[in-house]
Amino acid sequence: MRGIAAAGAYVPRFRLTTDELAEAWGTSHASGIERKAVPAADEDALTMAVEAAERALSSDAVDRDDLTLAAVATTTTPAEEGELLPRLARALDLPRSVATATVGGHTAAGAEALSRALDAEGPALVVAADCPAGEPAEGDHPLGAGAAAFVVDDDAPATVTGTAWYTEETPGVRFRERGGEEVASLDVTTYQRNAIREAVTEAVSSLPVDPADADAASVHQPDGRFPYRATADLPVSNGAVAAGTVVDRIGDAGAATVPLGLLAALDADDTGSDEGDAESAGTSIAAFFGGGTAAAVAVGGGLAVEGIDDLEDGTTIDYASYLRERGYVVSGDVAGGGAHVSLPNWRRSLDQRYRLVAGVCPECGGVSFPPEGACQSCHSRIEFEEFEAPRTGTVRALTVIGQGGAPPEFAELQQRDGAYAVAIVELEAAAGRVRLPAQVTDADPADVDVGDEVRATVRRIYEQEGVPRYGVKFEPIESE
C-alpha cells in the first residue's frame, strides 16, 4: 500500500498578528486566526515549495534520483503561464526524466496532486505551496502562506488507507478573476457554509474509515472556526479538528493549509516506532475543499516532519512592514536598467545558483567557483572535477546595502524588504574552500556579523523583462 514516506513543512519567517491587523483597520476579518505567516519579498510559491521539498528530501527514506513524479499544488504560480515545475526540479536536482504535474485553480489542488502521486509507480514528490493575496481592506486579512511536501512511496510509515471525492457546482464561494491577483468571495454566508459542509460530509463519509476514530482531522480551514462548522454533521471530535488545524498560527495558506494541517497531525502521531506497530498507529483525515470539489484522504500512522516547528516559530512584524513585504504598496517599476546577465547566461549558471557546484583543479587541488576558466589557485587551464559544496558555511565579509543604495534591479526588493546584507560566504567542502557572494536573507542585517554561520536557501533574486530569476541566498543558522 502506498503512503507517506517522508515529509517536510515550511512556513515563512515573518508573522502578522490579528491584533496588529485589527489595530490598522479598526476591525479584522480573520476569525479564529491569532497570527499569520507572511512571505518575505524574495519568497513566492516556488521558493517555499523548494524549501519544503528540500526538507522532505533530507530524509534517509528517499533518494531524489529515484523520484518518478513531481507534482505541485498552488493557486499562486509566480507567473500566470511559464516555468514552475522545471524550476523546482532544477533547484532540487531531480532527474530530468521526472514526470511533472502542476495543479492549481482552487484550494483543493493538494488533493489532486496527492492523488497523482498515489496513482504513480515509484517514489513521488508532492508539494503544496501557496501565498494567496487579497484586497487589503478585507479579503487579505486571513491570508497567510506556507508549504507542505510529501514523498509518496510504497511501504511507507504513514499509509494512505483511502481517498474519496465529492464534486458539485458551488459558484461564488472563493474565486479569482482571470488576470487578477486577489482572491474574492461573494460572502453569501449561509449558502457557502452549507455547501462546503455538505461536500466535506459526503467526501469524508465515503472514506473506508470511521470518522469517529480519527485522532486528527485537517479540514478546509479558511479561518479558525470554519473546520468545526464544516464537520458539524460528522462524528469527528473537536479534539481531532484542533489537532489538524494550523490556520490559527499561519493564516489561510490557500492550497497549502490542509496539507500543513495533515503534516501537523502526522508529526503528532509519530510514535517513533518501526512499521508493523499498527495497534498504536492513529488515524488522520484530511478534508480538502476548493472550487466546488471536496476530497478526503485517510492516513494511518505517522512520521516525523522536518520543519514542522516552523508552525510555532516566527518573527512578528508591524502592519506597515507587512504591506511592504507583500508588495501591496510597492510599484515595482524601477528606472535605470538592470544588470547585464542574459537569461541564457543565467541558465548556464544554474548548477552554481541552485546546487553550489564548484570545481577542483586536478593539477593543484585548488577549488574554483564557478568552475570555469583557469584554476583560481594555480591559474592552469584544466578541466575541473565538479562537486556540490555543502549548503552551510561562514560569513567572511559583509556589507549592508541601505535604503536607496541598491542597484536598480534590486530596488523593488529593497523597498519591500528594507536594507539587506550581502556577504562573501565560505563553504568548507572536503575538497577545499568555496567562496561566493550572496545576500543574507531572513535576517535583520544589523544582526549579521563576519564569522556567522549561514545556510543556503533558494530565493527570488530579481526580475528582469518580466522573468523572475531564482538562486541561492543564505539565512542565518540560529545558534542557541
- Site of interaction with other proteins (CB under 8 A): 334-341, 345, 349, 368-370, 376-377, 396-402, 405-408, 410-411, 413, 420, 422-424, 435-439, 445, 450-451, 461-462, 469, 471
**In what helix (H) or strand (E) does residue 351 lie, and over which residues does it extend?**
helix 350-355
CB-based contact 106:74 (threshold 8 Å) = no
Cell 500543513, located at residue: 260
The answer to whether 377 contacts Zn ion (rule: CB under 5 A) is yes
Query: Which residue in 99, 209, 323, 364 binds Zn ion (CB under 5 A)?
Result: 364
- Pure H helices in 180-290: 189-205, 226-230, 238-243, 247-250, 257-268
Instruction: Please tell me whether residue 443 adopts helix, strand or coil conformation.
Output: coil
Nearest CA to 462 out of 408, 400, 423, 425 is that of 408
Nearer to Zn ion, 204 or 375 (CB): 375
Q: Pick from Zn ion, other proteins, none: which does 406 bind, CB < 5 to 8 A by kind?
A: other proteins
Contacts of 391 (CB under 8 A, 6+ apart): 356, 427, 455, 456
Q: Pick from Zn ion, other proteins, none: which does 364 bind, CB < 5 to 8 A by kind?
A: Zn ion
357 backbone dihedrals φ, ψ, rounded to 5°: -80, 120
Q: How far is it, in rounded angstroms, from Cα 8 to Cα 284?
A: 17
Stretch that binds Zn ion, among 185-193, 271-279, 327-335, 356-364 (CB under 5 A): 356-364
* CB neighbours of residue 222 within 10 Å: 27
Alpha carbons within 13 angstroms on the beta-carbon side of residue 18 total 23
The answer to whether 375 contacts Zn ion (rule: CB under 5 A) is yes
Nearer to other proteins, 26 or 404 (CB): 404
What is the closest distance, in whole angstroms, from the C-beta atom of residue 466 to other proteins in the complex? 17
Nearer to Zn ion, 4 or 382 (CB): 382
Largest pairwise CA distance in the chain: 74
Q: Pick from other proteins, Zn ion, none: which does 375 bind, CB < 5 to 8 A by kind?
A: Zn ion
What is the closest distance, in whole angstroms, from the C-beta atom of residue 419 to other proteins in the complex? 8
Nearer to Zn ion, 329 or 378 (CB): 378
What is the closest distance, in whole angstroms, from the C-beta atom of residue 295 to other proteins in the complex? 42
What is the closest distance, in whole angstroms, from the C-beta atom of residue 383 to Zn ion in the complex? 11
Instruction: Please give the DSSP secondary-structure letter assigned to residue 96.
Output: T
Nearer to Zn ion, 374 or 397 (CB): 374
**In what helix (H) or strand (E) does residue 111 lie, and over which residues does it extend?**
helix 109-119
Cell of 250: 499561519
Q: How far is it, in rounded angstroms, from Cα 403 to Cα 418?
A: 6
∠ CA 288-242-214, rounded to 5° = 70
Q: Pick from Zn ion, other proteins, none: which does 363 bind, CB < 5 to 8 A by kind?
A: Zn ion
Nearer to other proteins, 232 or 397 (CB): 397
Q: How far is it, in rounded angstroms, from Cα 323 to Cα 420?
A: 18
Nearer to other proteins, 24 or 424 (CB): 424
Q: Pick from Zn ion, other proteins, none: which does 378 bind, CB < 5 to 8 A by kind?
A: Zn ion
Nearer to other proteins, 238 or 379 (CB): 379
What is the closest distance, in whole angstroms, from the C-beta atom of residue 372 to Zn ion in the complex? 13
What is the closest distance, in whole angstroms, from the C-beta atom of residue 426 to Zn ion in the complex? 18
Stretch that binds Zn ion, among 80-88, 99-107, 202-210, 369-377 (CB under 5 A): 369-377
Contact residues toward Zn ion (CB under 5 A) are 361, 363-364, 366, 375, 377-378
